[in-house]
C-alpha cells in the first residue's frame, strides 16, 4: 500500500544530507529522523559515511588520516561518500526507499554541490541539514558521548579518544565552510546554530521536508524520562473481552492506588509531572488517585475494534473467522470492520509524539495497542513486530531516550492481573514460555530503590 501520510507529492524521494564538524550531534539527529519517519511507515534509512570507510577499508584511523595534507586519507573519504551515495540510489531504486540520510560531514561547498548534483541526476531531492555549534560546553558534552560510543574508539582510553577527536576536529576546521546564503541560497537547507538558538530554513519544498524541519525543532537534548503505564486490570480484561469502556476490576483498582506510591517512589520531582490519559473510564480511574494535573486525549484511546468491540477472541474467531485470520497475517495493516488498524492508530498518535518530544516530564496512562505504538517509536521496533509486543498490566515503564538508544526500565507493581496477550494463530490469551513476547531492543534493568526489596513494588531484572 502506498503511503501518502506526510506528502501529497508522488514518488517523492528525499535525501537529507548532514553537514557539520564531528561532535555536532549529526548522528543523533540522523537517528531521530529515521526513528520518526520509519514509525510513520515512510521507508527511511541512514547511510553513515564513516561506516563505509570502516567497512570497506577496515580502517579505524587516527586523526592524521583527516589531515587535509594526507592525500590517501582524502581519497578514501571521498570514495566512502561515493559508496554511500551509490547505496542510497540503489536502495531507492530497488527497495522503494523514500527518505535517505547521508550521515557524513560534507564540510566543503564543493562537496555539497557535487552531492547535490548526483542526487538530482537520480531524481532525489537533496535537503541539507547543518548542525553548527561554536558553544564549547555543548561540544564537550557531545564529545564525551562520542568517546563512549563511537566504533572509531572502541577499546581506546577516554583520554586518548578525546585528544584524537580534538585533533580530528581541528583538521576538519581547516577546510570547513559553513553553509551560507551568499553561495548556497538555491539549496534547500536547514541550519541549526548552537542546537536551536538560531535556525535558518531555506527553500523547503515539500510538506514532508517541512515535517522533518518541524520535528527537528521540537527535539531537545536535555536528559529526561518518559513514564508509561497501561490502565489497571478492567472488567473486560477479566472476561477476556476486547475494547469497550469498562470499569476497573478490584485488582485494577488496587493498581490505581499503588500507582500513586510508585510515582512518588520512582519518579524524581514527581510533583511536577503531568499525567496524560485517554478518554476512557479505565485510564481515568487508574489516574484518579494521582494528585498531578491531568490531560485527557482522545488520541490515546484504545484501537477501535469496530464490529468486534466487546467480543472475546474466541467469539471473534467464531463469528468472523476470515477477519481473525487476516488480522493474524498482517496485524499492522488489518483494519477492523468499522474500526481501526495499527497504522490508523499511529496516524492519530503523531501529534502526541511531537508533544512528547517537546515535553520533559510526562506519565502516559493508556492502552495496550496505543502503548505498543508509542513504545515502537521510542524503541525503533519494526512494524511487523510492534503489534505483537507484550506490554503487561500493572507495570510502570520508564523510557530514557539517549543519543543512540532508549533505555527501558520496568517497574512491576506486584499486583496480579490477567494476561491480555494473544499470540499469533490462537485465540487463547497468555504469554507462552518461549520468549516470543520479549520486546525488541529492550534493556531491562532494575531500579536501585526497587531492588532493595521494599514491600511496595520491585523492578524486574
Partner 1 sequence: MAAQVNNDIAEIEEPKIPGNYSARKQNRWIPATIQLSSNEDLTSSQELLVAPRSPVLNNRVSTASSHHHEDVDEIHKRISKFHVSPAQLYSTDSGKLYHAGSICIVLVGQPARGKTNLSISLCRYLRWLGVRANLFHMGDYRREKTNGLPHEFFDPKPESEEAAKARQELTNMVINDMVTFFQNDMGQIAIYDAVNGISSQRLALAKTLNDKQIKAVFIESLIDDEELLERNIADAAKSPDYLNWEENEAIADYKKRIEMVNRAYEEMNEDELTYIKFINFGERLFINNSKHDFLTTKVISYLMNSKIKSGSIYFARCSNNKLKFKSDPPIDDKGKKYATDLSATLLNHFESMGQSSFPKNMVVWTSARLRTTQLADVFKKHGLRVRHRPEMTQMNPGDAEGLSDDELQAKYPVDYANHNLDPYHHRYPRADSYHDIALKLEPLIMEMERMRNDILIIADETILRVFYGYLMASSCTDIPFISFPQEEIIKITYNAYMNKAFRIPIKDSDKS
Task: Count residues near partner 1 (CB under 8 A).
Answer: 57
Q: Helix, strand or coil for residue 76?
A: helix
Q: Which of residues 271-310 bind partner 1 (CB under 8 A)?
A: 279, 281, 284-285, 288, 291, 293-296, 298-299, 304, 306-307
Alpha-carbon span 78 to 80, nearest angstrom:
5
Q: Is 79 annotated as a binding residue?
A: no
224 annotated to bind ligand: no
Answer for which of 68, 151, 321, 338 binds partner 1 (CB under 8 A) is 338
Instruction: Characterize 257-284 residue by residue with b for buried, 16 or more Cβ atoms within 10 angstroms of its Cβ, and e for exposed.
Output: ebbbebbebbbeebeebebbbbebbbbb
Interacting span for partner 1 (CB under 8 A) from 17-25, 340-348, 383-391, 394-402: 340-348
Of the candidates 103, 145, 309, 357, the residue annotated as catalytic is: 103
Say if residue 448 carries a ligand binding annotation: no
Please say which residue, 120 or 337, places its beta carbon nearer to partner 1: 337
**In the complex, minimum distance from the CB of residue 289 to partner 1, in angstroms, rounded to a whole number:** 8
Q: Is 220 a catalytic residue?
A: no
- The CA-based angle 166-167-170, given to 5 degrees, is 90
Backbone φ and ψ for 269, nearest 5 degrees, come out as: 50, 45
Catalytic annotation present for 322: no
Q: How far apart are the first and last CA of the chain?
A: 40
Nearer to partner 1, 212 or 408 (CB): 212
Q: CB neighbours of 419 closer than 8 A, spacing ≥ 6?
A: 392, 393, 429, 430, 431
Dig out the grid coordinates for 150 from the structure: 563511537
Given a contact cutoff of 8 angstroms between Cβ atoms, the answer to whether 363 and 273 are in contact is: yes
Contacts of 170 (CB under 8 A, 6+ apart): none
- Catalytic residue check, 75: no
| Residues recorded for the chain | 461
Q: Does 159 bind partner 1 (CB under 8 A)?
A: no
Residue 235 or 456 having the CB closest to partner 1: 235
Of 158, 170, 358, 454, the one binding partner 1 (CB under 8 A) is 358
Contact pattern for partner 1 over residues 206 through 235, marking x by CB under 8 A: -x--x--xx--xx-x--------------x
Please give the distance of CA 205 from its chain centroid, rounded to a whole number: 25
Residue positions forming the annotated binding site for substrate: 230-237, 282
State the residues that interact with partner 1 by CB under 8 A: 4, 6, 8, 10, 181, 185, 196-204, 207, 210, 213-214, 217-218, 220, 235, 245, 247-250, 253, 279, 281, 284-285, 288, 291, 293-296, 298-299, 304, 306-307, 335, 337-340, 343-344, 347-348, 350-351, 355, 358
Amino acid at each position: 500500500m502506498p503511503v501518502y501520510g506526510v506528502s501529497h507529492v508522488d514518488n517523492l524521494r528525499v535525501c537529507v544530507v548532514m553537514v557539520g564538524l564531528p561532535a555536532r550531534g549529526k548522528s543523533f539527529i540522523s537517528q531521530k529522523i529515521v526513528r520518526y519517519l520509519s514509525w510513520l511507515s515512510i521507508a527511511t534509512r541512514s547511510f553513515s559515511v564513516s561506516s563505509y570507510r570502516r567497512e570497506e577499508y577496515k580502517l579505524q584511523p587516527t586523526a592524521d588520516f583527516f589531515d587535509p595534507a594526507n592525500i590517501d586519507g582524502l581519497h578514501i573519504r571521498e570514495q566512502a561518500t561515493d559508496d554511500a551515495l551509490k547505496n542510497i540510489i540503489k536502495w531507492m531504486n530497488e527497495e522503494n526507499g523514500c527518505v535517505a540520510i547521508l550521515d557524513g560531514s560534507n564540510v566543503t561547498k564543493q562537496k555539497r554541490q557535487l552531492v547535490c548534483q548526483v542526487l538530482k541526476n537520480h531524481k532525489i531531492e537533496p535537503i541539507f541539514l547543518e548542525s553548527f555549534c561554536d558553544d564549547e560546553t555543548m561540544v564537550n558534552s557531545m564529545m564525551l558521548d562520542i568517546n563512549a560510543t563511537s566504533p572509531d574508539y572502541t577499546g581506546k582510553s577516554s583520554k586518548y579518544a578525546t585528544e584524537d577527536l580534538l585533533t580530528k576536529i581541528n583538521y576538519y576546521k581547516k577546510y570547513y565552510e559553513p553553509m551560507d546564503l551568499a553561495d548556497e541560497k538555491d539549496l534547500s537547507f536547514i541550519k541549526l546554530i548552537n542546537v536551536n538558538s538560531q535556525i535558518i530554513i531555506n527553500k523547503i519544498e515539500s510538506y514532508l521536508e517541512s515535517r522533518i524541519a518541524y520535528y527537528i525543532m521540537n527535539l531537545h537534548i536535555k536528559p529526561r524520562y518518559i513514564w508509561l503505564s497501561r490502565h489497571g486490570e478492567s472488567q473486560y480484561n477479566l472476561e477476556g473481552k476486547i475494547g469497550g469502556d469498562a470499569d476497573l476490576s478490584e485488582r485494577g483498582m488496587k493498581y490505581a492506588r499503588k500507582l500513586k506510591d510508585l510515582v512518588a517512589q520512582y519518579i524524581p520531582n514527581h510533583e511536577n509531572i503531568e499525567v496524560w490519559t485517554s478518554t476512557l473510564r479505565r485510564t481515568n480511574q487508574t489516574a484518579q488517585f494521582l494528585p498531578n494535573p491531568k490531560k485527557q486525549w482522545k488520541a490515546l484511546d484504545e484501537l477501535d475494534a469496530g464490529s468486534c468491540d466487546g467480543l472475546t477472541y474466541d467469539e471473534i474467531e467464531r463469528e468472523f473467522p476470515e477477519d481473525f485470520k487476516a488480522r493474524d497475517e498482517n496485524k499492522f495493516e488489518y483494519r477492523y470492520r468499522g474500526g481501526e488498524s495499527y497504522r490508523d492508530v499511529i496516524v492519530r498518535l503523531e501529534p502526541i509524539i511531537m508533544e512528547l518530544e517537546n515535553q520533559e516530564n510526562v506519565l502516559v496512562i493508556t492502552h495496550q495497542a496505543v502503548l505498543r505504538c508509542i513504545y515502537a517509536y521510542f524503541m525503533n521496533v519494526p512494524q511487523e513486530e510492534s503489534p505483537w509486543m507484550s506490554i503487561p498490566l500493572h507495570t510502570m515503564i520508564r523510557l530514557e531516550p539517549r543519543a543512540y538508544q532508549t533505555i527501558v526500565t520496568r517497574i512491576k507493581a506486584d499486583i496480579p492481573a490477567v494476561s491480555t496477550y494473544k499470540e499469533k494463530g490462537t485465540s487463547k490469551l497468555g504469554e507462552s514460555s518461549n520468549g516470543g513476547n520479549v520486546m525488541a531492543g529492550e534493556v531491562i534493568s532494575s531500579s536501585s530503590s526497587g531492588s532493595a526489596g521494599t514491600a511496595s513494588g520491585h523492578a524486574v531484572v
